């Protein structure tokens, strides 16, 4: 497969910091690219997961079964696709990977990833964010710090605000 079919050099934020992305992204359902490392569709990764330098991306409608989660535990990263910014199923996939299945590797948001979503993505377990081409890095970094307190529990903070305050005040 020609490397022209690969997506390269999206702005990547990893663990809250800009980073040079070494991974290319292939959206083709068949044919492994020669370039490594590369993120490929889940079915292609499953067929070649012993190959070094491959990682899967999950479509937003992927059913995350315990068996699939077990397979993904061995992936160097799992990318979750947002086909449209209005499709929120990727948030659930990330949270299930982290909380229910204990995935500890990189969980990356790809696709239609907008600045407005970043804070919420990190709360759901994403630690790498590949921004859509028209999104600006400075805006994205500001958006990650937009809220100083979160009321609800999430992947990044297991306790609700009232629980943290009760604990800090000795239960009173």
Residue 161 has pLDDT above 50, yes or no: yes
Taking the C-alpha atoms of residue 54 and residue 85, their distance in angstroms, rounded to an integer, is 26
What's 73's domain CATH number? Answer: 3.20.20
Nearest-Å Rg of the Cα atoms of the chain is 17
Residue 169 lies in a domain: no
Structure-block tokens of residue 91: 């948030």
- How far is the CA of 128 from the CAs of 1, 66, 116, in angstroms? 27, 23, 15
Q: Is the pLDDT of residue 117 over 60?
A: yes
Burial class (CB in 10 A: 0-12, 13-18, 19+), 156: middle
Q: pLDDT at residue 157 above 50?
A: yes
* pTM score of the predicted model: 0.85
**Residue 171: inside a domain:** no
Least confident of 28-32, 52-56, 99-103: 28-32
Rounded Cα distance, 158 and 135, in Å: 30
Q: Is residue 164 part of a domain?
A: no
Residues 6+ apart with CB under 8 A from 111: 81, 82, 83, 84, 90, 132
Kindly report the CA angle at 141 between 137 and 142, in degrees rounded to 5? 120
Residue 134 lies in a domain: yes
> Per-residue confidence at 2, pLDDT binned at 50, 70, 90?
very low
Does the residue 38 lie in any domain? yes
CA distance 156 to 141: 17
Q: Tell me how many helices (H) and strands (E) the chain has.
A: 6, 9
pLDDT at 160 over 80: no
**Is 90 inside a domain boundary?**
yes
Q: What's the total number of domains in the chain?
A: 1
Centroid of chain to Cα 128: 6
More confident residue, 160 or 25: 25
Pair 60, 82: CB distance under 8 Å:
yes
Residue 106 has pLDDT above 80, yes or no: yes
Q: Is residue 28 part of a domain?
A: yes
Structural domain boundaries enclosing 68: 3-146
Is 159 domain-assigned? no
């Amino acid at each position: 497969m020609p490397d022209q079919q690969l997506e390269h050099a999206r702005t990547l934020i990893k663990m809250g910091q800009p980073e040079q992305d070494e991974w290319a992204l292939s959206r083709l359902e068949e044919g492994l690219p020669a370039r490594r490392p590369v993120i490929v569709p889940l079915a292609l990764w499953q067929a070649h997961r012993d190959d070094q330098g491959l990682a899967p991306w999950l479509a937003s409608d992927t059913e995350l079964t315990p068996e699939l989660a077990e397979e993904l535990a061995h992936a160097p990263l799992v990318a979750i696709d947002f086909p449209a910014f209005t499709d929120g199923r990727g948030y659930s996939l990330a949270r299930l990977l982290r909380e229910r299945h204990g995935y500890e590797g990189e969980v990356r948001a790809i696709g239609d990833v907008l600045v407005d979503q970043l804070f919420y993505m990190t709360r759901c377990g994403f630690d790498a964010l590949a921004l859509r081409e028209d999104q600006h890095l400075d805006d994205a970094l500001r958006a990650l710090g937009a809220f100083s307190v979160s009321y609800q529990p999430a992947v990044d903070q297991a306790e609700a605000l009232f629980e943290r305050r009760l604990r800090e005040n000795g239960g009173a």
